Structure 1
């Protein structure tokens, strides 16, 4: 690993290492000062007293607000992840189709939904589906959140599919066509499985985005974690309630990000072979006979 890093970057000398250490120490000191100032300000205003935090640890807070909100957040995120992957695979393969009309239509759809903000799509579907009276009013916010997340993140995944296939060596598709496979068979059997493995860490990172964007559902009255924390804080203390919700988001996103980093490292070790280095025999040396 050190040899690879030295190829990419020049090794720091004594002066460079001292400067790096100084910058790190100064950065940590500034961060500690900011944290101390923030805690001192909150303490002066009485925000750290037990009376302000006691409601967070009650059964009412978790049974009626945090846990239901967390379940709603995870429900919308999981459904959106499944539908986004399906949308992304369908339109990603459509952008790689040999037919110009199919390729053009899929390109327009993907680029359109990538350009429209997620919140705007949620509000649009919430108003449009509500106007048409297609679903019960209680299910309308959930459906609007899922549709908005699906179309935006699905278009991002479609672009990941397209770029992942284009990064593969062209010799693989040419070999598949040479043995009699059609363009669609080459894409499904040879190219797409390899592209999925390569872009899996990026997809997991996009899943983190989906989870965080479920908080936008508060605008259309979807009872997710942020909305539940806001309603609880309105009756008690808003700062403490929102901080608990923020910690829950941080923990979940940290787990997903750690899984993405682990998977990226695991796939890199699985896809890169290890070469066993053996000493070459000396020129003119007699070979050993067993």
Structure 2
């Protein structure tokens, strides 16, 4: 997905939020915004938003001297999700279609987003996603392709939602390679976060080699690309992964909640809609 002019104010908003999370120093926060202002003129609109997001967060790190502004918030979101884990596990045990419910729960976890939606309400969103019919619903195709899949790659997104990803992986009952960011970016999941969520007990954890808030294939490691290219099912969580992979002709299923009007428009849905999208739908 390309960058739209509407994305530019969002870059400033995210930079301000991240800088304030990093330091309590108005002068340094202003310096971050000044540098982002200079960066704007260099933004190529044919690149994906996460490619610019990578430069925005590098600027925040360089100016503030803080590598992981959201470390504490990530830990709290993981703890909050883990506290819900027993209840959600019981819910899956009672479900008529546990896989369908697990997919919905994985999407519900996508609300934990300090970049696009810092004012999320987790418990409320879980109920909403479970009850709301997806605007794009390729669940049946997902279920059928999962049954045949032998090599599954799962692209993680935010740290707290990895607990919900764990529930889906446990429900799928197949070997999975779970992919994390190379280094801290917004509140996206790193290897440390995935381990905190217990994902190392249910999946092999691999870094994408990329420090953007998405999967920019040109910046990924050879190890990750080997997994990506041989996978017969790729589960892509969240908006950042959609923005970077929406044009790829690979067996990808995008699981997300549309939190941004630009992404909602690109998908042809409304803000707040739930999406289960097959990148290669059957004709």
Task: Identify the TM-score tier after normalising by the shorter chain.
Answer: under 0.3
Give the structure with the larger strand fraction. 2
Give the structure with the larger helix fraction. 1
- Between Structure 1 and Structure 2, whose CA radius of gyration is higher? 1
